[in-house]
Structure 1
Amino acid sequence: METHFTLLLVTLLLTSIITPSLSAGTHRCHPNDYKTLMEIKQALNNPYLLASWVPKTDCCGWYCLQCDEKTNRVNELTIYRGEISGQIPSAIGDLPYLDSLEFRKLTNLTGSVPLSITKLKSLRFLRLSWTNLSGPVPEFLSQLPNLDFLELNYNQFTGQIPPSFSTFTKLGALRLDRNKLTGSIPESFGHFIGSVPDLYLSHNQLTGSIPKSFANMDFTRIDLSRNKLVGDASMLFKPNGSTEILDISRNMLEFDLSKVKFPEKSLISLDLNHNKIYGSIPNGISAVGLQMFNVSYNRLCGQIPTGGNMGRFDYSAYMHNKCLCGSPLKKCT
């Protein structure tokens, strides 16, 4: 009897050592964050992706999130892939220490972005992409003062681009591509008051001309392709600028390419195909270290420059122009 009692005590002691106590787990996970996360799980219909979100366990050990090591508050939430349906829960706004939020590749995620997200004043990284979110692009996102990355691409957003997005002071990248956006590019995007973000607006239904105010901006990467833009785009070329990637293909842009001077030190990718660009290709392009180049389906004439990296581009980079000639096309006569 005494031996059995001793073994029982030893077993209880070992169990207490190797099994985390409820108090220890809940002590690390802030009770407010725990409550909010359980609300989020319920609002998303308790998906299998969140199976590790087990009641009365330490939320800082759950899948899809991270806690700050110093504060033990939830600071990252990444809902990626998985069978998630419904809408983004408004309870998201009750995780005040979030600096990174991602809902990505969730085709059954619908509805609009909740206004409660504006309570996340520490948010730096926001990615809501590859979903079926719809409605207008939320102008209220400009109330998030610390955003340095905003990605809303591959969705079903409609309407115009909010001009207030130019008020971000820390934004390094703005991705609104592959939606159903209409209207013109805001004039205010030529007056970003902070850093100049990489700008991706491709695969929409944007109309009008590129704002003349873009002459004030030195975009490192800018993609306006596959819209319905018209007029001049020469203000995007800055000989002393830092542009690396410039894509304005598949629009209805019309300007004289021969008058353009390229940023020789930085430009590596230039795509101008399927526009109404005329003139000739400037000889100065041979001094640019281009890795990608396409001027096909325009109205260009004259001899194709040689030298530099120009020899790496084949017929497809030049085809269907008015009267371009020289290698890799027919000889000039």
Structure 2
Amino acid sequence: MISTHPPLMAISKAIIVFPLLCFLSSTISILCDPYPLVCNETEKHALLSFKHAFFDPAHSLSSWSAQENCCGWNGVRCNNITGRVVYLNLFNFGLVGKLSPALLQLEFLNHLNLGWNDFGGTPIPSFLGSMQSLTYLDLSFASFGGLIPPQLGNLSNLLHLRLGGADSSYEPQLHAENLRWISHLSSLKFLFMSEVDLHQEGQWIESTSILSSLSTLILKDCELDNMSPSLEYVNFTSLAVLSLYGNHFNHEIPNWLSNLTASLLQLDLRDNSLKGHIPITILELRYLNILYLSKNQLTGKIPEYLGQLKHLKALSLKYNSFDGPIPSSLGNLSSLRYLYLYGNRLNGTLPSSLWLLSNLKTLEIGNNSLVDTISEVHFNELSKLKYLDMSSTSLTFKVNSNWVPHFQLEVLLMSSCQMGPKFPTWLHTQTSLRNLDISKSGIVDIAPTWFWKWASHIKWIYLSDNQISGDLSGVWLNNTIIYLNSNCFTGHISRQRLERLVRDGEYYGRYDETRQNSGPFAKFLLECGIDARYTMLGTPQQNGVAERRNRTLLDMLRCMLSNFSLPEFLWGEALRIAAYILNQVPSKSVLKTPYELCAAEAWSGPITHSQRNLILKPSVDLGEASYVLGIKILRDRANGVLKLSQRAYIERILKRFNMHNCKSTKAPIVKGDKFSKAQCPQNDDEREEMKTIPYSSVVGSLMYAQRTSLLDVVGFCDADFAGCIDDKKSTTGYIFMMVGGAVSWKSVKQTLTASSTMEAEYVACYEACCHAMWMRNFISALGVVDSISRPLKLFCDNSAAVAFSKNTRSISRSKHMM
């Protein structure tokens, strides 16, 4: 008989498990339905005060609203239990302004990241040293300047500190008289300083080695000039990463580095003017996996004992003066992935052990005096190879025509190697290639039919100085920059296809390095019988490439749409409509005048514009003028003299404003004062009252006062960064002087929102240059100044804007400003 009842043990288990499940379910429901975190009200107001000290062109702080819970704001995190702000990460938010002391009210803040913002060269505030809870502080690449406050040494709980990365346009540069304050940061594990002037600090090793917990020390481009080579022992007990890139030590590699035996994993001493040999004490760093010694003045042979550093993954010795052969012991570095030996005086053949480095991804041995013959057998073990540079050597590359390599290269540089005479057919197997240089490689062959289609996916191709032949009539490359000069190509390249040979429609190689003579590409066009007609450099319509014009339009629209806070889902429609309107704008030619027909010379744009104005407005001949803009004209025809005088005009202005007997005094506006819209007349009574205040009329009248000088046109431009306190937009101002007096001027708010002082100044320079070109064309057409063909002078007081203006290349950061 079979029982249908459950066993007793099963019932007892159910009795025990059931209340346990009930307890767990109630606990889970409590954990899944907590009360929402509400941030501290005092800290919310502190963050809002902190926000108001910034100009936020990217609207990164748009979520920071008094009506919202600050624990949900962008870049803010709160403690899960107390609701106090513990984390503030504003990295790369594009903020412009100064640090507010309101941060001091965030008593429990332990993480503060303000990197990659713009603090306009202001000093790092000393009050940061009072924020005792900080364990992470990042102020790098934030355009701070001046002296680093030693009060930062009070942050005893700090684990991570990043400083520097200054904007060179701000003075003074971020600097420190000494680093003794760092020795008080007993818990510090990570220290990064970039472009911090430490040339006065001669005991930086003593100040940093006292930190027993320090594992990473990076002092990049800090003007250090001494590594204390006489020291025998330095107590960096926990140091794993030491990077001193870009300083000026100018002595041998110090022996004290061998003290860092057990801990050091990465050593970067690039670009330090180090001299002498690589010491054998380097073997003490037996766990080293990265060793960078490039861009120094090291001499002698590459030591064989480097092959004993079994853990090395990256070795860079390029741009030194090493001679002799490549040591065969490097083949013992089975973990090596990156080997850089470029730009030395190495000679001899390549060691066979070098081809056994199966983990190698990058091999740079170019620009040496190496002589060897390389076949496909050498590459059997290098299946991970991505970057191969054998350029400027005497190596011969001989492989079978049907060779299929095991690797997929991204960069292949074989210039001046012997690869010919046959065209290397194995290239078509390299589908990931971005850059290819096989110039001067002795190829005497016809370019295969597959090459042009394959090449359309490559960014840079150098085929120059070979004897490659083929018909270019069917060539169509998308965004490839290709150099074909000094070959035997034939065929006709249409204008449309010619523009596609280079990126963005620009003719690379139009001029040589002097910018005066025709370059290799221009000569190539001449040899092919191609009439190259160039348009103005830097214009969106250059070479007729419509795509570039639309890209410029896209950058402009992004800036404007972001400024007006238009929802992103409407941006595509706005771009489509703008492009449609731009393509529909007619460009009808103006009827030619008799002068244009006879002289085969067109009127300048300003003259045509003035002609139209004369047609629209009736004109009456009033005879010879006695006064023009307050200038009295005296004609002495007997002696052929024309005299100009402003005496009467200036006296009349002084009497008009009751200032003919006044003494000098200060201007009513103090330098640096800013007005807001609230200070403008708000009603009719105030507007009537403003009419009785003559200040603006005085300024306008005095602009016509001139002082005789050379017949030159000189311009002055300036910008008031974020001068409008209502919308934080900058103001452009410029004035042009001719024969010592003002002839044209303008002061107007900029239409875009500049994110830095340099950008505002650059926009002002751009607008002033546009007006200067108009003035030059107008005055040249009138013929009033013979020397107007010379370059106009435009003065700007911002060195960074001047340097940026001289850069003829258009980059993504500058498109929205032009």
TM-score (norm 2): 0.32
Are the structure 2 counterparts of residues 135 and 258 from structure 1 closer, same or farther at C-alpha, using a change threshold of 3 Å?
A: closer
Shift, 1:207, TM fit = 1.6
Shift, 1:274, TM fit = 1.2
Counterpart contact for 2:397–2:417, Cα < 8 Å: no
Deviations 1:161-210 (A, max 9, x none): 11222222222210000111111222332222x31231001111112222
Partner of 1:260: 426
Partner of 1:130: 295
How far apart, CA to CA, are the structure 1 residues paired with 2:210 and 2:284? 26
After superposition, where does 1:1-333 map in structure 2 within 5 Å? 51-54=203-206, 57-58=210-211, 60=214, 64=218, 73-96=238-261, 97-107=263-273, 109-192=274-357, 194-216=358-380, 217-218=382-383, 219-232=385-398, 238=404, 241-257=407-423, 259-285=425-451, 286-288=453-455, 289-304=457-472, 306=474, 309=477, 312-314=480-482, 317-321=483-487, 323-326=488-491, 330=528
Shift, 1:313, TM fit = 4.0
User: For 2:264, what is the secondary structure of its paired residue?
Assistant: coil
Are the structure 2 counterparts of residues 140 and 211 from structure 1 closer, same or farther at C-alpha, using a change threshold of 3 Å?
A: farther
Shift, 1:306, TM fit = 4.6
Extract unaligned runs of 5+ from structure 1. Answer: 1-16, 30-46, 66-70
How far apart, CA to CA, are the structure 2 residues paired with 1:320 and 1:266? 27
Are the structure 2 counterparts of residues 196 and 61 from structure 1 closer, same or farther at C-alpha, using a change threshold of 3 Å?
A: closer
Structure whose CA Rg is larger: 2
**Greater RCO (Cα-Cα under 8 Å, separation 6 or more):** 1
Deviations 1:55-77 (A, max 9, x none): 68436399647xxxxx9611111
How many residues align structurally?
288
How far apart, CA to CA, are the structure 1 residues paired with 2:329 and 2:473? 42
Counterpart contact for 2:288–2:309, Cα < 8 Å: yes
TM-score (norm 1): 0.74
Relative to total residues, which structure has the larger strand share, 1 or 2? 1
Deviations 1:78-111 (A, max 9, x none): 222233122112221220110000111112x111
Task: Among all aligned residue pairs of Structure 1 and Structure 2, give the percentage whose two residues are the same amino acid.
Answer: 24
Counterpart contact for 1:274–1:297, Cα < 8 Å: yes
Are the structure 2 counterparts of residues 152 and 261 from structure 1 closer, same or farther at C-alpha, using a change threshold of 3 Å?
A: closer
How far apart, CA to CA, are the structure 2 residues paired with 1:191 and 1:91? 34
User: For 2:485, what is the secondary structure of its paired residue?
Assistant: coil
How far apart, CA to CA, are the structure 2 residues paired with 1:104 and 1:186? 26
User: For 2:244, what is the secondary structure of its paired residue?
Assistant: strand
User: For 2:329, what is the secondary structure of its paired residue?
Assistant: helix
Are the structure 2 counterparts of residues 308 and 58 from structure 1 closer, same or farther at C-alpha, using a change threshold of 3 Å?
A: same
Shift, 1:120, TM fit = 1.4
How far apart, CA to CA, are the structure 2 residues paired with 1:19 and 1:263? 58
How far apart, CA to CA, are the structure 2 residues paired with 1:228 and 1:265? 27
Shift, 1:292, TM fit = 0.8
Counterpart contact for 2:322–2:344, Cα < 8 Å: yes
How far apart, CA to CA, are the structure 2 residues paired with 1:180 and 1:53? 34
Q: Give the letter aligned to residue 467 of structure 2.
A: R
Partner of 2:574: none
How far apart, CA to CA, are the structure 2 residues paired with 1:61 and 1:144? 21
How far apart, CA to CA, are the structure 1 residues paired with 2:480 and 2:154? 64
Are the structure 2 counterparts of residues 234 and 58 from structure 1 closer, same or farther at C-alpha, using a change threshold of 3 Å?
A: same
How far apart, CA to CA, are the structure 1 residues paired with 2:288 and 2:386? 24
How far apart, CA to CA, are the structure 1 residues paired with 2:422 and 2:379? 16
Extract unaligned runs of 5+ from structure 2. Answer: 1-152, 157-182, 189-198, 220-235, 494-523, 530-818
User: For 1:54, what is the secondary structure of its paired residue?
Assistant: helix
How far apart, CA to CA, are the structure 2 residues paired with 1:191 and 1:298? 32
Are the structure 2 counterparts of residues 186 and 310 from structure 1 closer, same or farther at C-alpha, using a change threshold of 3 Å?
A: farther
Q: Which deviates further from its counterpart, 282-291 or 270-279?
A: 282-291
User: For 2:257, what is the secondary structure of its paired residue?
Assistant: helix
Q: Which deviates further from its counterpart, 180-189 or 257-266?
A: 257-266
Are the structure 2 counterparts of residues 111 and 215 from structure 1 closer, same or farther at C-alpha, using a change threshold of 3 Å?
A: same
Shift, 1:244, TM fit = 0.9
Q: Give the letter aligned to residue 257 of structure 1.
A: F
RMSD in angstroms over aligned alpha carbons?
3.6
User: For 1:91, what is the secondary structure of its paired residue?
Assistant: helix
How far apart, CA to CA, are the structure 2 residues paired with 1:274 and 1:134? 30
Counterpart contact for 1:206–1:229, Cα < 8 Å: yes
